[in-house]
Amino acid sequence: MLVEGCKHEIEITVPVDEITRETDRVVANIQQKVRLPGFRPGKAPASLIRTKFAHQVREDVLENLLPKYFDKRVKEEELQVVGRPNVKDVNFKEGEPLKFKAEFEVAPNIELGEYSGVTVHYAEPEVTDADIDKRLDEIREQKAQYVNVEPRPVADGDYAAVSLDSIAGVEEPIHQDEMVLHVGDKDTLPGFSEALRGMSPDEEKEFEVTYPEDYGQEKLAGKTVKFRMKLKMIRTKELPELNDEFAQDLGDYPALGDLREAIRKAIFHEREFAAQQKAKDELLDKLIETHDFPVPEAYVERQIEAQLTNQFKELADRGVDPAKLKIDWAKLKEHQRPKALHDVKGSLLIDKVAERETIHATNDEVDHEVQRIAKQEREPVAATRKKLEKEGLLGRIAYRIRGEKTLNFLFEHSRKEAPAAPDQSEQAEQ
């Protein structure tokens, strides 16, 4: 037997007497099925069947014996085969033993090194009053009301409701019955703000706007467009006051202090999750670096296909048809290979740790996830479970839960070091 990493090659011999018995079974089977002129069904001589259906007999014998003896050899040597074997060099001559070679891959034998006590960068996140104030301001912005004001000249900070028509500069005419422009805002093109300043409701104006070269709409990027604009009305934004009533309107918060505490906890959990996820990624990277073992190509290919499927789904969700893209598949797959290899090695290591630590998904944990999916899909739990069982996804759910629990175990048993100052400042900006 030749062994190279995960690649194996074995040579198998099938005795002549076994070939004879299998040939007799195949001939008898064909004899019962075929109808030949001059013979009642099932009564045609075996010698005639062997001659007339020689090719089919040969193919059926091979089809039956090759997998049977391959599986037998694999079980004898306790090999965990990955993917389909490649059968070659088949030597099948009458009166001689059947010989063939099989190339295949096996799951790697991973020897676990140190996995408990790995050093990672992590510190409990902090939430300041400024963080809470910023989140409250964001909520106030979401709850803002826009109020029409009495006719007057437009000033910076106003929201101007206008009708807009292009006069020149574009191939396809631009027409907007009503669009709202925030005058003087950084997200409003300066040309619009300049034209609006000092205008009063019902006033019309013609002006030009030059769009940046990197403007989001390609048909307008870098172009100078002449517009006719009519100001319909002016609106101002009114933010709700920060008080107990504001807190009560948002939910079960008796006072503003209760809302601030809920926001503090929410921000803390967001940052804690992000920081722990980053630490877990670092931990897994270190485990991969310290464990060298071969990876079956079948696993890598499967992971590449999964990655591409997800990427194409994201493109389709954004309205892009992947079928219309000119893709160099060989180059694309090669580009995906490093990440696929990394992810497969990580997954195999997690599996090995889970096996060593007897970590598994409980029935209650799987049930909880099924209930979450049912709620998300807005369908009965029983219907969701039946669908997941039919699609063979319950096992995947249990596998994912086990992986998450194993990563949590590794994180809990790791040595934590505070991240460097730049990482802390990045966290403060989140």
| 3-class DSSP string for 295-348 | CCHHHHHHHHHHHHHHHHHHHHHCCCCHHHCCCCHHHHHHHHHHHHHHHHHHHH
Give the angle 107-109-110 at the CA atoms, nearest 5°.
115
CATH number at residue 404: 1.10.3120.10
Sign of CA dihedral 158, 162, 167, 173: positive
| Half-sphere exposure in the Cβ direction for 277 (13 Å, CA) | 6
Indicate if the pLDDT at residue 40 is higher than 80. no
- Is residue 402 within 8 A of residue 359, CB to CB? The reply is yes
Indicate if the pLDDT at residue 41 is higher than 80. no
Lowest mean pLDDT among 54-63, 156-165, 314-323: 314-323
End-to-end alpha carbon distance in the chain: 57
Q: Is residue 248 part of a domain?
A: no
Q: Higher-confidence residue: 5 or 408?
A: 408
Question: What is the average per-residue pLDDT within 239-260?
Answer: 95
Residue 170 and residue 99 share a domain:
no
Indicate if the pLDDT at residue 293 is higher than 60. yes
- pLDDT the model gives residue 328: 87
Average pLDDT of every residue of the chain: 92
Indicate if the pLDDT at residue 315 is higher than 60. yes
CATH number at residue 182: 3.10.50.40
Indicate if the pLDDT at residue 50 is higher than 90. no
Chain centroid, CA 74 distance in Å: 35
Domain boundary pick from 238, 267, 283: 238
SS3 282: helix
CATH number at residue 85: 3.30.70.1050
pTM: predicted TM-score of the whole model, two decimal places: 0.76
Question: What is the average per-residue pLDDT within 396-416?
Answer: 96
CA-closest candidate to residue 183, choices 151, 211, 156, 145: 156
Length of the chain: 430
Residue 313 and residue 376 share a domain:
yes
- CA 393 – CA 405 distance, rounded (Å): 18
Residue 350 and residue 275 share a domain:
yes
Domain boundary pick from 182, 205, 238: 238
SS3 25: helix
Indicate if the pLDDT at residue 3 is higher than 90. no
Lowest mean pLDDT among 118-132, 342-356, 410-424: 410-424
Residue span of the structural domain in which 181 resides: 145-238
